Amino acid sequence: MTLVAPTGVEVLGHLEPGYRDILSHEALSFLAGLHRRFEKRRQSLLRYRKERQAELDQGALLMFPHETADIRAGEWTVRPAPADLQDRRVEITGPVDRKMVVNALNSGAKCFMADFEDATAPLWSNLVEGQINLRDAIRREIDFTDPKNGKRYQVNDDAAVLIVRPRGWHLDERHVLINGVAMSGSLFDFGLYVFHNHAALKERGTGPYFYLPKLESRLEARLWSLVFQHAEDELGLDRGTLRATVLIETLPAAFELDEILYELKDHIVALNCGRWDYIFSYIKRLKSRKEHVLPDRAAVTMAVPFMNAYSRRVIAVCHRRGAHAMGGMSAFIPVKGDAEANAAAQEKVRQDKLREVKMGHDGTWVAHPDLVPVAKAVFDEFMPKANQVDRAPDPHELPVTTQQLLAAPEGDITDQGVTGNIDVAIRYIAAWLGGRGAVPIHHLMEDAATAEIARAQLWQWRTYDCSTKEGTALTAAFLENKIADICAAIQDEVPGQDELIARIQTAADILADLVLNEEFAEFLTLPAYDRITSDLKKPMALAEFED
C-alpha cells in the first residue's frame, strides 16, 4: 500500500488498512505546517529545560518569577468553560485502544481523557489506530466485540465528553519526518485529532478539547497557545474553539500557575494535579540536593506537606482566575476474586476523593469504570453544584510559600520499597516495550509516571548512599544484583515464552542503566523509545537540517 505524501514529508511507519484515511495528503500537509512553524521554538524550549536544570544543579533555587509579578497581582480571569465542561466531577482516563475507548465513554463518567501519552506505548500501530478509534467514536461508528466472550460493545448516547491528551513536548514521532527531521509527538497527536474531528465534534455540540502534559513553564504554555491559534486560523475556527486543561505535573510549573493560565487564557478551562509525574519531577529537578531525598513511594501521599501545598495552590489560583481545579488519580483499582481486598481498595479511593472534594477540587480522576460510582457518590454529596469555582477561599488560609512547595516529607526507605520499585519498573517497562502503556500490577494501575517514580527513587537512593530501615546499603553493586535477581524471578513466571522473557531482560537492562548511570535521564521513555524505533531510518537533527 502506497501513500502519496506532500513534498518534504516521509512516513516511515507501516500502512495497514484504514491508515491512509488518517494519514491523508491534507492531514499530512497540516502536520507539516505545524512542524515548520513551531519546531524551532520547541527545540529551544527543550534546551531551556536543560539549562534550567544545570542552574538548579549548581545551586539555583526555584522561586516565583520576579518578572511576572504583575500577572500574579493583576485582576483577570480566563474565558468561561463551554457548557459540556462545566461539570467534570468524575473523569476516567486510559489508553486509546478500541475496547478502552468504548468502555470509558460508556462508564458514566462526565469526561474521558483519551491518553496518547503516559497510558499509551508509542508503537506506530497504537498511535494511528488510536486516532482511528477516536474518529469512529465521535461519529458513533465504533464498536468492539470481545474475542473472549463474544460480547459486542457500542457507544451509548449519553457518552462521556472526550478530551485528548497528546504526548509531551519532549517526545518525537520518528515515523514521520518533515524535511528529514522527526516531528513532535505532541503536534502529531494534536494535529491529526483536530484536523479530522473538529467539524464532527461541532455537530455533536462539543469541541476539540485537550489535556496538555508535562509543561515546565509559561513559555511552554505560550507555545501551545500559538499552536492553538494557528490551528484555529488554518481550519477556519473561531478563537477559543480549542480548549485545554493543563496538567500541573512538574515542580517548576507549580511556581507559574497564574502565568500558565494567563498565556492560555483564551483556551484554558482548568488545571489538573497530575500527582505521580509531580513526585517524579520533584526528584528530578531537586536531584542535586540530598535534603530532598524521598522515602518509599507508598509514603509520599497527597497528605504529605509538599503535596498538600501543591494541591492547595492549584485550587486557590484556579478559582481566583475562574478556572476549574481538577484532582488526580488514586492508583488503586478493583481487586477481582477477593471481596475484602476489593472493599479496602474502594475505601482508599473513596477517602482520596473525599479529601479532594473537601479541599475544593472541582472534579477528579479514576482509572477503572467500576470506580466511577465511588468517586461520583462522594462528589455528588459534597459538591451539589456543577463545580466549586465560585467557592470563597478560606480567609484564614495563607498563600502557599516556596518553602512549603519544596519541603521534603519524613518517612523510611525500606527493603520492601526497594524491591517493589525494581519489580514494578521491570514489569512496566517490559509491558511498554510490548505495546501496553497502562498496566495493572499488584492491584495498582501503573503507567509511565509511576514507573518514573520507581526508577528515580532507586537512582536517588544510590546516589546519596542511602540505606534502608533494615540496614541494607543501597550501593550500585547491591542494586545491580537485585535488579538481576528480580528480573530472573519475573522471567520464571512465564516459562517457555521466549519473546516475553527476552523483553523482560531488555526492561531490566534499561532499568539498570537508568539506576546505575551517574547522569539522570530526563525520561525513561526516551531510551525505551530508542528500542522500539531502532529499525527506522535515523532522522536528522534540526540543526543539521538548517545547515
Average pLDDT on 184-212 reads: 98
**Catalytic pick from 42, 88, 89, 165?**
165
* CB neighbour list of residue 73: distance below 8 Å, 6 or more residues apart: none
What cell was used for 266?
483564551
Q: What is the pLDDT of residue 95?
A: 96
Please determine, for residue 485, whether its predicted confidence score (pLDDT) is greater than 60.
yes
Our answer to whether residue 285 is catalytic in this structure is no
Residue range 305-322, pLDDT digits in tens: 999 999 999 999 999 999
Please determine, for residue 547, whether its predicted confidence score (pLDDT) is greater than 50.
no
| pTM recorded for the entire structure | 0.95
Reported confidence tier of residue 1, pLDDT bands at 50, 70, 90: low
Q: Count other Cβ atoms within 10 Å, centred on residue 536.
A: 14
Average pLDDT on 335-361 reads: 94
Q: In which residue are the cell numbers 544545570 written?
A: 54
The span from the CA of 27 to the CA of 5, in Å, is 10
Of 163, 167, 173, 107, residue with least CA distance to 138: 163
Q: Give me the count of residues in the chain.
A: 547
Average pLDDT on 282-297 reads: 97
Residue range 209-233, pLDDT digits in tens: 999 999 999 999 999 999 999 999 9
Please determine, for residue 544, whether its predicted confidence score (pLDDT) is greater than 50.
no
**Catalytic pick from 447, 455, 462, 503?**
447
Q: Which residue has the higher pLDDT, 539 or 329?
A: 329
Residue range 63-118, pLDDT digits in tens: 999 999 999 999 999 999 999 999 999 999 999 999 999 999 999 999 999 999 99
Q: Count other Cβ atoms within 10 Å, centred on residue 179.
A: 18
Residue range 442-464, pLDDT digits in tens: 888 899 999 999 999 999 999 99
CB 146 within 8 A of CB 153: yes
Cα–Cα distance list, 454 to 315, 374, 461 (Å): 28, 28, 11
Residues of the chain above pLDDT 90, percent: 89
Q: Count other Cβ atoms within 10 Å, centred on residue 397.
A: 9
- Within its chain, how far is the Cα of 197 from the centroid? 22
What residue ranges in 282-360 does DSSP mark as E strands?
324-329
* CA contacts within 13 A on the Cβ side of 479: 31
Q: What is the pLDDT of residue 153?
A: 82
Q: What is the pLDDT of residue 144?
A: 78
Please determine, for residue 395, whether its predicted confidence score (pLDDT) is greater than 80.
no
Our answer to whether residue 140 is catalytic in this structure is no
DSSP state, residue 326 = E
% helix / strand / coil in the chain, to the nearest 5?
50, 15, 35
CB 333 within 8 A of CB 371: yes
Q: What is the pLDDT of residue 542?
A: 53
The span from the CA of 480 to the CA of 513, in Å, is 9
The span from the CA of 94 to the CA of 329, in Å, is 11
Convert 251-318 into a string of H (helix), E (strand) and C (coil).
HHHHCCHHHHHHHCCCCEEEEEECHHHHHHHHHHHCCCCHHHCCCCHHHCCCCCHHHHHHHHHHHHHH
Radius of gyration of the chain (CA): 23
Of 129, 153, 127, 149, residue with least CA distance to 140: 153
Q: What is the pLDDT of residue 392?
A: 83
Residue range 7-28, pLDDT digits in tens: 999 999 999 999 999 999 999 9
Residue range 509-532, pLDDT digits in tens: 999 999 999 999 999 999 999 999
